[in-house]
Structure 1
């Protein structure tokens, strides 16, 4: 079998960006069910928020000019002409020299432009002593300060967060159009792989780590996951189970079986699922070189290495951008990596991109990335790690004290 006409990381990411789109049309959902999903429409507010000017403190609504010059030694004097109730409009216009008691969130009466805090006044019957002046707009949220009518609040391709749902609630939106959560199927392969709940391992057996770590990461980034179980290294069995799972999902992950070997059926299975077939057969990275990506009738199919560290790093590097594409997520233009200094020399080979596991240390002179070394079969090294540092394909390594960017492992 011809193997490893490898792509670079940038070539692989470009293929993903060019080849894949959301597979299913948007759906209309109540906002309470839409957190974590991606908007399929622009959101324009049909009203202003808040729709009335209101106080941000307990105090007295006033005209700011009536408080100018007020101090502890020379207070200002205003007439108390009313008390505003929560949830009700003020009954009176505020005139020169007047004040009205107002609670936090209360509606500002017409004529008032600010609120003096209750801590800065003294109430004597219907007379208010003011001991501190306020500026126009002080302690007030004006109508439309939060959202203006006709304002573009959110754009299509934005992943909804709890605070976004708050804005939607504020403008009266109870439903939104979002892309459905992609369904990811994970099928593990290998005669040596056994279910995670097996108590006693026989010689040569290993528990299925990848389906757990990859599945959890997919869920964390908005997908639904179907665990397809484990299949043996038999082409007919493998192909039949892969075809069955493929029909149920939007994105099929095949874990293991992507290295050179006489019983490597992953490529044949991927090719048989549909056109155009394999797009990437090996990536110039360490770890994770034997990563495969295919497109079958519009759906992505990815073959991940069997080693747990390789599988998880490659999933984060390539499958997460794929999930973003399937969800219609707008590409992030902000670099979310942390800046740090590497704590020791790390060699690398020109022509491949290396990914180094690191933990972070805050020192007197800033943040340092400390390499966590270990082979790609050692999942505990990822537990010790907080992030990953990339060494580009044109570098022979990084030297102690060099500035690096850290991809955080959330």
Structure 2
């Protein structure tokens, strides 16, 4: 009986469509909502519903482009510094007046910029090329016919099409309309959208968060994204995974809104309800897209043309589909003809294998070094929230490719109004962002915490500007310097600048319930360890300590790590390690002292390390990079660093260590 019920509830995806097939279907189905006339002051970001013709010439009269003297060309023919001419000034034309004066040979009329050219004048001599003597002027530079004059209709001619149906109005177009005396325009009606989130696990921001629950971010992100597109968008709130409740809510909302957008409940699983509700209310035209992330997207159209759009629940997945497909729907409802997402070209800094037959969207940071633009992949899942903050764009890996090589040119959809000036990619540290913020540099840098080794490699290959590193060399006992000095390419590609010191600790829960006495306890059967990610400097230190432990115990390294419960439980940040311990997902781990304190953990000190900065020599002339190096030399930076528990500013901070 139970299995039969499950089968009735579960519904597999319909035939998966490509993104292009989805857009083609939507193109055919979606029509503008209607036309209304609005004042141009209220027309910003609206879409024109008809071609607009110029009702007049612009400029509407012959006018002067400069302050000077309107003359007949015959009066200044052959004039230069050695052969000047004297002209009688017979009056002046000020801006805004209709002149009654007439220019003839041997006379001049003073004229303001923008004033009407008097009859008989066919050129204007600039003030700079005359000497005034009483009621006469001496001209010592000749002019060509029509020089410094804008003739009526030379910019825009009467009855010329100036704006086309389906174009979106910005301040630029509105300024032109005003200049032509057009006060009102016909535009397509703006769609009214409402966003609701579906999921038993969701809570409203500000509410107490229970274990297993998450705050609804999509509802807020998608609603404000829609508002950024210039449409009326409301956030309805959260609904549970209850088919009847969702059905009733959407049915009611359709009486007020043109498009209802849901987030979550789209995976065709046992408890997911969105597609079942959509199927009852309208005709499903899309249920599953050949794209990653975003496969479970569902779209339906009601009998009266209302749109039901079901976004996936994971944040990056929802945003990707909103930018690439939902925006297209909004554009079509508004009558906008130019709906393709703007893209830029960038070179990949990674090699990646993907499944053929599915388009991939990947969050990337954009880097500009030595005249080239690079796309640096952010390591994140479709459920990542931080990738929305870190990303500069969404890289598109096409459906018909199964392998993308390093250095290939790909398309990227920008997600920021302005590109950031420089990229910092390397080891994670909480204090670094505080330093950047204090010196008003945080908005000028893209940050990608990928680990010391990966950051070093990206600088080595010329892809990023700065890599924070903390790599210990067991042979010399030094941090960072040997890794640069022993690499012939890095010695030419980068300089190493002294940063600050921070203390690493062995962290565990308050009160030490597991009675942890030292690092060797990570091999105990009753202990769950949380590790750092491969490529990080902390991971290298952890593996070094495990190697020392293996020698003491007389056990091979590979055999010992198998005994460590949680060795493969890898977290990419110090705060992530501290959070795992605080929440009970692990008992012990290595993190910065500051992270341990922030999460209320107890700890045992392990070592002090240098957190230095490897800087690409091709980036040294960037203003943001110069300011970053300067901040390391400032007293305010030293004071800030020393105010953080577990950090120290060394005397040589900001100095060049090599190479």
Q: Structures share a fold, TM > 0.5? A: yes
Match of 1:287 among 282, 293, 297: 293
Match of 1:330 among 316, 332, 337: 337
Alpha-carbon distance, 1:140 to partner? 1.8
In the alignment of these two chains, the number of paired residues is: 405
| 1:306-325 deviation per Cα after TM superposition (whole angstroms, max 9, x unaligned) | 00000010011111111111
Give yes or no for the alignment of 1:189 onto 2:198.
yes
Q: CA RMSD in A?
A: 1.5
TM-score, reference length from structure 2? 0.60
Give yes or no for the alignment of 1:82 onto 2:91.
yes
Matches within 5 A, 1:253-272: 253-272=261-280
Residue aligned with 1:253, SS: strand
Structure 1, unaligned stretches of length 5 or more?
A: none
Partner of 1:379: 385
Deviates more, 1:303-312 or 1:223-232: 223-232
Residue aligned with 2:255, SS: helix
d(CA) in 2 for partners of 1:387, 1:61: 54
Give yes or no for the alignment of 1:234 onto 2:242.
yes
Match of 1:393 among 367, 390, 399: 399
Match of 2:310 among 303, 309, 317: 303
Q: 1:64 to 1:374 in 2, by over 3 A?
A: farther
Contact 1:255–1:306 (8 Å) recurs in 2? yes
Residue aligned with 1:145, SS: coil
Alpha-carbon distance, 1:144 to partner? 1.0
d(CA) in 2 for partners of 1:240, 1:104: 66
Alpha-carbon distance, 1:287 to partner? 0.8
Contact 1:69–1:76 (8 Å) recurs in 2? no
Give yes or no for the alignment of 1:341 onto 2:347.
yes
Residue aligned with 1:35, SS: coil
Structure 2, unaligned stretches of length 5 or more?
A: 1-9, 417-659
| 1:310-347 deviation per Cα after TM superposition (whole angstroms, max 9, x unaligned) | 001001111111111100111358x8321221122222
Residue aligned with 2:25, SS: helix
d(CA) in 1 for partners of 2:39, 2:108: 43
Partner of 2:564: none
Match of 2:125 among 92, 106, 116: 116
d(CA) in 1 for partners of 2:149, 2:218: 54
Indicate the structure (1 or 2) with the bigger Cα radius of gyration: 2
Partner of 1:206: 214
d(CA) in 2 for partners of 1:64, 1:387: 57
Deviates more, 1:290-299 or 1:68-77: 68-77
d(CA) in 1 for partners of 2:249, 2:331: 26
Higher relative contact order (CA 8 A, sep 6+): 1
Alpha-carbon distance, 1:216 to partner? 1.5
d(CA) in 2 for partners of 1:206, 1:248: 29
Matches within 5 A, 1:5-404: 5-23=15-33, 25-198=34-207, 200-274=208-282, 277-297=283-303, 298-331=305-338, 336-404=342-410
| 1:6-38 deviation per Cα after TM superposition (whole angstroms, max 9, x unaligned) | 111111111111111113x21111111111111
Residue aligned with 1:247, SS: coil
Q: 1:346 to 1:140 in 2, by over 3 A?
A: farther
Contact 1:185–1:246 (8 Å) recurs in 2? no
Residue aligned with 1:330, SS: coil
TM-score, reference length from structure 1? 0.95
